[in-house]
Amino acid sequence: MRNNHKTHKEPLVYITKRGELPKLKAMMIKAIVILVGILFCALVTILLTSENPLKVFKAMFTGSFGSPRKVWNLFQASAILLGISLAVTPAFKMRFWNTGAEGQVLIGMLATITCMFYIGDALPSWLLIIVSLFASIIAGAVWAGIPGYFKAIWNTNETLFTLMMNYVAAQLVSLLIMYWVPSGSMVLGLVNSSTQNGWFPTIFGQKYLLNIIIVALLTAAVYVYLKKSKQGYEIAVVGESENTARYIGINVKKVIIRTVLISGALCGVMGWILAAGTDHSINSSAVGGNGFTAIMVSWMSKFNPITMIFSSILVCFLQKGAGEIASNLGLNSSVGEVLTGIMILFIVSSDFFVNYSIHFRKKERKEKQE
Amino acid sequence: MKKALSLILAVLMLLSATLAFASCTESKDAFKVGFIFLHDENSTYDKNFIDAAKAACEALGLTEDQMILKVNIPEGAECYDAACELVEAGCDLVFADSFGHEDFMIQAAKEFPEVQFCHATGTKAHTEKLPNYHNAFASIYEGRYVAGIVAGMKLNQMIADGKITADKALIGYVAAWPYAEVKSGYTSFYLGARSVCPTATMKVEYTNSWFDIALEKTAAENLIAAGCVLISQHADSEGAPKACDAAGVPNVAYNISTKDIAPNTWLISSKINWEPYMKLIIEKTRDGKGNEIPYDWCGGFEEGAVQLTELNEAYAAPGTKEAVDAAIAAFKAGTLKVFDTATFTVNGAKLESYMADVDSDAAFTPDTEVIKDGYFNESADGLRSAPYFDLIIDGIDAAQ
């Protein structure tokens, strides 16, 4: 074989798959790629803004770590993103393309706000919080369950179906706000602001600590469910190959519907946290794109809940940094977003360098002459 | 298990290290102002505020380090968080520009009584009665009335030139939401137009969005197709002016001059200039007199808060400039009232009494008599600055 090929020119660059790398080496490669990413960001910063890149990086850092409150806000934002990432993971691991987390979380929020709005005075706060939780779980599960059922029974395209459900949820929120706020301002404001009924209590004086604790518990639960339970195994098998799953006697339809319901219910829980623990209000864009960012976090972390902790903190760190660049250096906020995009691109591509090695054509002519 | 434990320990260490690091930064001595904006400069609404904030800071000699701008802050807990972060960064005054920020600003104002919080377009300062929380607006309805005069004179010119008959003087209005601020705006514009062109009527189309280029363009096209011969708007994009330029229909815009966007059909725009208010709150806070900032501030022509952009004299009817100047002078002198009940009817009857929902409450109950000395007392001293005129008067077709 080799002899036949000798007449052909070798390509300038070619790529081969690596075998399993030792963990340390894999980490090293990732670190180097990320370092190159940072340097590239610095270059882009100089070219775009002629600011000192060190100043920009410092601003990014203070955006998340500039004060204790900023650190809390970072962890709060990360907890929300992490929770939604966890919620979409079972579905994606099963290769069910749930692009509807945005709507499922929103409808969960709506369920909680509806409870706070109508029975806010009838129940004690703790009971209202629990009732809201169940309402949100049901709402989220139904919102995901409808496309899930159609997928399992008629094999409809779940990507489009779940995506469209986002718009239905947003319009439903607008409709209810229009109904609740007859002045037409389309702003609901804080619900139960005087009584704080249905609001999460502060713990040790921290508004967001309970949110973070709940998401930490969710992380552990999803980890155990996916890695240690029989159902988690079934999800993995259905995701790899439906035929294999059928062959070994898994009821694929049942697994799809069950998993999608769980995914939606978890989104509902996150909606509950956002409504009762964070915003205490709602508008049609209250989830703020987290439902889509979560898909990226989940894939970036290869569906591993522990990795997701770091990925979501990283993404939120970059987002807050981008905002800080805009406010502290007077740059347009798009500059921060460009840098965030570059960093994420490098982080995602670092996997490529772990899995593949790149070879350059060696200078063979000299060897021939000798 | 070991792995999990070490992970938790690592996170805890990181957390404590950052907390320790964080607590020793950020100085608190210099006077600082923080601003919260819903979007960035790409939105005309926010750009109007951002420009005013920068101009006011510059005029008062504040350095760049003394002002912090936070853009793209949504109307949720993020607003409260942003306000608190600004306070922690040493701000003595925090300003927010969007209606939906209000509750979160009040939340922060209660937590930091030593810091002044000012909020544009809000309605709750006069009922919350916090010494450090204030609302502001401008009597833009007067500006719209003057812009309406420009429109009415253009209609008269079109009638005189035989382009339309007097009964076809139909104005189209692209409106954001059926909300008092918007209704007050289009009613004053219409009354201004009708004060010079008595046969003028108006058709309103809502976009149900504050900013949507495509929807606003379509709405303007629909209105033109329905026979409207002049278009104005209360929505934040250039969609409607562009549609007018394409159709050759005269256009009156809002907050920005559309000279470059609609070069053939622009007439004039009314505009809120927030710089006087920004100056007032910065000066008062800097001098330690933050409690002197009124609960509600409503600037008009006199304060320079309401302005009209350049008039397209080549396109407007002859004599428009003089009429505009006369109207502005009359507003400054207090002799002209936009909502004079002798000039309009509601359901065929003169308005003798009207209870408006001035004080915010959960049930939206009308609570205050606002007809005074023969006019509807909009944005009145002692009531509140944000508009509450929410009637549909005869001559306006605002069916949704």
Residue B265, SS3?
Answer: coil
* Cβ contact, residue pair B22, A186, below 8 Å: no
Q: Quick one: A122 and A191 in the same domain?
A: yes
Cβ–Cβ contact B298 with A under 8 A: no
Give CA–CA dist A195/A120, Å, rounded.
Answer: 9
Listed range (A97-106, B33-42, B169-178) with the worst mean pLDDT: B33-42
Here the CATH number for the domain that contains residue A216 is: 1.10.3470
Assess whether A27 and A116 both reside in one domain: no
What is the tens place of the pLDDT at every residue in B118-167? 999 999 999 988 999 999 999 999 999 999 999 999 999 999 999 999 99
Which of the four pLDDT bands, split at 50, 70 and 90, describes residue B11?
low
Does a structural domain hold residue A8?
A: no
Instruction: Tell me what pLDDT residue A23 has.
Output: 81
pLDDT of the residue at B13: 54
pLDDT at residue B291 above 90? no
Q: Residue B36's closest chain A neighbor by CA?
A: A327
Residue B297 Cα, gap to closest chain A Cα (Å): 20
Q: What is the pTM of this model?
A: 0.86
Q: Are β-strands B396-397 and B201-206 bridged in parallel, bridged antiparallel, or unpaired?
A: parallel
Would residue A365 count as lying in a domain? Answer: no
A102/A83 Cα distance (integer angstroms): 12
Q: Which one-letter DSSP state was computed for residue B334?
A: T
Residues A24 and A171 in one domain: no
Contacts of A70 in chain B (CB under 8 A): 22, 85, 88
**From A75, A183, A278, residue closest to B357, measured CB to CB:** A183
Burial class (CB in 10 A: 0-12, 13-18, 19+), A358: exposed
Same fold, B29-139+274-299 and B140-272+310-341+386-397: yes
Residues A316 and A335 both lie in one domain? no
Query: Mean pLDDT over all residues of chain B?
Result: 89
Q: Which residues of B touch A326 (CB under 8 A)?
A: 40, 69-72
As a whole number of angstroms, the distance between CA B146 and CA B140 comes to 10
If one counts the domains in chain A, the total is 2
- Which strands form B306-308's sheet, in the order they lie side by side? B306-308, B266-272, B251-254, B230-234, B170-175, B201-206, B396-397
Is residue B3 helix, strand or coil? Answer: helix
Portion of chain A with pLDDT greater than 70, in percent: 95
- Are residues A234 and A352 both part of a single domain? no
Whether chain A has a CB inside 8 Å of the CB on B71: the answer is yes
HEC readout, chain A: CHHHHCCCCCCCEEEEECCCCCHHHHHHHHHHHHHHHHHHHHHHHHHHHCCCHHHHHHHHHHHHHCCHHHHHHHHHHHHHHHHHHHHHHHHHHCCCCCCCHHHHHHHHHHHHHHHHHHHCCCCCHHHHHHHHHHHHHHHHHHHHHHHHHHHHHHCCCHHHHHHHHHHHHHHHHHHHHHHHCCCCCCCCCCCCCCCCCCCCCCECCECCHHHHHHHHHHHHHHHHHHHHCHHHHHHHHHHHCHHHHHHCCCCHHHHHHHHHHHHHHHHHHHHHHHHHHHHCCCCCCCCCCHHHHHHHHHHHCCCCHHHHHHHHHHHHHHHHHHHHHHHHHCCCHHHHHHHHHHHHHHHHHHHHHHHEEEEECCCCHHHHHC
User: What ipTM is given for this predicted complex?
Assistant: 0.83
pLDDT above 80 for A330:
no
Count other Cβ atoms within 10 Å, centred on residue A157. Answer: 12
DSSP state of B251: E
CA dist B254 and B140 (Å) reads: 10
For residue A243, tell me if it sits in a domain: yes
Q: Name the closest residue on chain B to residue A183, using Cα atoms.
A: B179
Reported as a pLDDT band with limits 50, 70 and 90, residue B267 is very high
- Give domain status of residue A363, yes or no: no
d(CA B398, CA A351) in angstroms, rounded, equals 58
Question: Residue A370: pLDDT above 50?
Answer: no
In the structure, what pLDDT confidence band is assigned to residue B24 with cuts at 50, 70 and 90? Answer: very low
The answer to whether residues B309 and B257 touch, using CB atoms and an 8 Å cutoff, is yes
Average pLDDT of span A161-189: 91
Residue A2 lies in a domain: no
Same domain, A22 and A149: no
| B12 CA: distance to closest CA in chain A (Å) | 12
- Are A293 and A349 contained in the same domain? no
Structural domain includes residue A10: no
| Residue at A62 is within a domain | no
pLDDT recorded at residue B22: 46
A242 and A338 part of one domain: no
Range B7-22 average pLDDT: 52
Look up residue B54 and give its two tokens: 């920068």
- Kindly state the helix (H) or strand (E) to which residue B239 belongs, with its residue range: helix B239-247
Binary contact (B81, A73; C-beta < 8 A): yes
Q: Which of B59, B62, B69, B1 minimizes the C-alpha distance to B37?
A: B69
- Are the Cβ atoms of A326 and B41 closer than 8 angstroms? no
pLDDT at A43: 86
Out of A279, A288, A332, whose CB is closest to B40? A332
**Residue A349 and residue A211 share a domain:** no
Which tens digit of pLDDT belongs to each residue from B320-342? 999 999 999 999 999 999 999 99
Give B354's pLDDT tier (boundaries 50, 70, 90). very high
Contact across the interface for A193 and B103, Cβ inside 8 Å: yes
Residues A160 and A280 in one domain: yes
> What average pLDDT does this structure show over B377-381?
89
Average pLDDT, rounded, for chain A: 87
Q: What is the pLDDT of residues B46-57, one digit of tens each?
A: 889 999 999 999
Do A169 and A23 share a structural domain? no
Q: Is residue A4 part of a domain?
A: no
| β-pair type (B306-308, B266-272) | antiparallel
Q: Which CATH number fits domain B29-139+274-299: 1.10.1040.50, 3.30.70.100, 3.40.50.2300, 1.10.3720.10?
A: 3.40.50.2300
Instruction: Give the residue on A whose Cα is nearest the Cα of B89.
Output: A67
pLDDT of residue B20: 47
- CATH T-level assignment (fold) for domain B140-272+310-341+386-397: Rossmann fold (3.40.50)
**Torsion, Cα of A172, A173, A175, A180 (10° steps):** 140
What pLDDT was estimated at residue A348? 82
Q: Could you tell me if A275 and A112 are in contact, meaning their C-beta atoms sit under 8 angstroms apart?
A: yes
| Nearest-angstrom CA–CA distance, A75 and A82 | 10
Query: Smallest CA–CA separation between A127 and chain B, in Å?
Result: 23
Domain coverage including residue A128: 68-320
Considering the domain architecture, whether residues A230 and A200 belong to the same structural domain is answered as: yes
> What is the DSSP track for B287-328?
TT-GGGS-SEEEE-TTTT-EEE----TTTSPTTHHHHHHHHH
Q: What is the pLDDT of residues B176-234, one digit of tens each?
A: 989 999 999 999 999 999 999 999 999 999 998 888 889 999 999 999 999 999 999 99
* Of B43, B374, B258, B176, nearest in space to A332 by CA: B43
Mean pLDDT of the region A11-24:
80
Give domain limits for chain B. 29-139+274-299, 140-272+310-341+386-397
Q: Sort out which chain A residues have CB atoms less than 8 A from B389's CB and list them.
A: none
B163-202 residues touching A, CB cutoff 8 A: 177-182
Mutation target for B interface from A64, A67, A204, A290: give the one with most B CBs within 10 A. Answer: A67
Integer-rounded Cα Rg, in Å, for chain A is 24
